[in-house]
Amino acid sequence: MNRFFSFLLSCILLLTCTACVSPVSAANDGSDTPSHITPEHDEQLLHGSRPQLPSPSDPLPEKDPEVEPVTPAEPEASEPSSQESTAPDPVQPPTTDPESTDGTQTESTPVPESPRTIDPSKPMVALTFDDGPNATYSDMILDILEENNAVATFFEVGRNVANCPQPLTRMVELGCEIGSHSYVHKDLSKLSSDALAKDMAAADQAFIDAVGFAPTLLRPPYGAVNSSVKHDTGHSVITWTVDTEDWKSRDTDKIVSYVKSLPSLDGEVVLLHSSYETTVDAVKILVPWLIQQGYQLVTVSELMAYYYGELMQPGQFYGYTYFTTHGKTDTPAALPEPETPAAGEDTSADQPQEPQQPDQQTPPETAPQPVQPEGSAPEPSPETPEVPAGEEPVDETLPIPEKPTIPASPDAPIYSTLPAEVPSSGSAETIG
């Protein structure tokens, strides 16, 4: 009997153990068993309780930082922080020259223009412009010269200077030269000595009022001179060697083709005018062309000093005879530094006071008639206005002087408008 109860108790215990092990085996063999079940979970299973699996929305259990350090997540590039989004972009400093030792900023430092220099050994030519200043064309000519780093000489009419002084200031700033072309563009050779002095004084005062100084150069209108004009005006009197006749043709192509047809312009003084749009168009072509040909564009005073080796003197005449008897010098002269009046300096003490207008009438006997020497240039063409024996009346209502009249001779290609000078002191010379 005791054996029977012992056997029965053993069977019951065996069945009980089998029943407890079966659920555990079934749980271990299931496909939905999570891989991260810990020993605590196994203990729960042994006691007949099954843990609930976490849902996707539930947060993952925190891990012990000492067991497994947490790696910080990298910030996403597409979502900048609020600090970065609100902060302004830093201003980039100007770039500097890597080879510069003093850190000079190359972007903001302008490149200075090279100063204009003259090489006496190279060809040079002087462009001159008469009859200005013109309110429109003078500035256009200056624009062309400035763009090409070139200069010229402007022989201006005093009455025009009084009416339009602005271009003269720019001429001085660009290094151009200013000369006088009388006050009202009269034939100075037909004025009395007193009338000539008054005309020169009136013109000089117009220049003083405009730029603070009177010019030392004089180009007589029409190129007409006599002994008084040559030596008694207190100016250096100069004419020209090449007449483009721009005043006559008013044709850009003719002006350009004539200048380009000359075999050489080295040492020449070219006559142009500031009064015509066609001349401006021609200058726009000729200035860069002359530079490409190797010519240096200089002022009249620079040409006389560096090419002919002479500083122009007051009371001296530089015309046909001078240019045909002088050539290029081997010893250029040095030009003196230009004198500029100091700020606030009164220059009126050394200048004529209250100049009067030129005389309206001159007795016929004081105006000598032109003498036509044998072998000289022919008489002016029919387009030349006839000048009476006495001084021409001045029409003060005209803002600009009369058109220049420059007779030409087809025999000489370069000195076409310069006939031989008349040695008689009382005669008049009409050079153009």
**Across the strands, what pairs with 317?**
237
Q: Note whether residue 305 is domain-resident.
A: yes
Q: Given the structure tokens 């005018």, which residue do they identify?
A: 273
pLDDT, one tens digit for every residue, the chain (432 residues) = 666 777 777 777 777 666 555 554 554 555 444 444 455 544 444 444 444 544 545 555 554 544 455 455 554 544 444 444 444 454 444 444 544 445 554 454 544 456 789 999 999 999 999 999 999 999 999 999 999 999 999 999 999 999 999 999 999 999 999 999 999 999 999 999 999 999 999 999 999 999 999 999 999 999 999 999 999 999 999 999 999 999 999 999 999 999 999 999 999 999 999 999 999 999 999 999 999 999 999 999 999 999 999 999 999 999 989 999 999 999 999 988 765 544 444 444 444 444 444 444 333 333 333 333 444 443 333 333 333 334 344 444 333 333 333 333 333 333 333 433 433 334 444 444
- pLDDT value at position 269? 98
Q: Note whether residue 74 is domain-resident.
A: no
Q: Note whether residue 318 is domain-resident.
A: yes
Q: Which residues are CB-neighbours of 293 under 8 A, at least 6 positions away? A: 123
Up-side HSE of residue 222: CA atoms within 13 Å toward CB? 25
Q: Which member of 181, 185, 235, 273 is catalytic?
A: 273
Q: Note whether residue 327 is domain-resident.
A: yes
- Element holding 131 (H helix, E strand): strand 124-132
Q: Which residues are CB-neighbours of 226 under 8 A, at least 6 positions away? A: 189, 368, 425, 426, 427, 428, 429
- pLDDT value at position 1? 60
Q: Which member of 97, 130, 346, 395 is catalytic?
A: 130
3-state secondary structure of 277: helix
Q: Note whether residue 363 is domain-resident.
A: yes
- pLDDT value at position 60? 52
3-state secondary structure of 127: strand
Q: Which residues are CB-neighbours of 381 under 8 A, at least 6 positions away? A: 407, 408
End-to-end CA distance of the chain: 168
Range(s) of the domain holding residue 219: 124-335+354-374+388-430
Q: Other CB atoms closer than 10 Å to residue 72's CB: what's the count?
A: 6
Q: Decide: pTM greater than 0.75.
A: no
Q: Are 195 and 170 in contact (CB under 8 A)?
A: no
Using CA atoms, how far apart are residues 148 and 62, in angstroms rounded to an integer? 82
Q: How far is CA 319 from CA 243, 246, 325, 415, in A?
A: 13, 20, 10, 10
Q: Note whether residue 55 is domain-resident.
A: no
Q: How far is CA 211 from CA 134, 153, 337, 340, 377, in A?
A: 16, 15, 17, 10, 39
Cα dihedral value 236, 196, 269, 258, nearest 10: 180
Q: Note whether residue 102 is domain-resident.
A: no
3-state secondary structure of 203: helix
CATH number, domain containing residue 399: 3.20.20.370
What value does the CA radius of gyration of the chain take, rounded to a whole number of Å? 50
Q: Other CB atoms closer than 10 Å to residue 265's CB: what's the count?
A: 22
- pLDDT value at position 17? 62
Using CA atoms, how far apart are residues 292 and 308, in angstroms rounded to an integer? 23
Task: Look at the chain and report how many structural domains it folds into.
Answer: 1
Using CA atoms, how far apart are residues 375 and 415, in angstroms rounded to an integer? 15
Using CA atoms, how far apart are residues 14 and 340, in angstroms rounded to an integer? 132
273 is an active site residue = yes
Name the region of 397 (left: φ>0; alpha: ψ -120 to 50; beta: rest): alpha
Q: Note whether residue 221 is domain-resident.
A: yes
3-state secondary structure of 43: helix
Q: Are 416 and 239 in contact (CB under 8 A)?
A: no
**Across the strands, what pairs with 154?**
129, 178
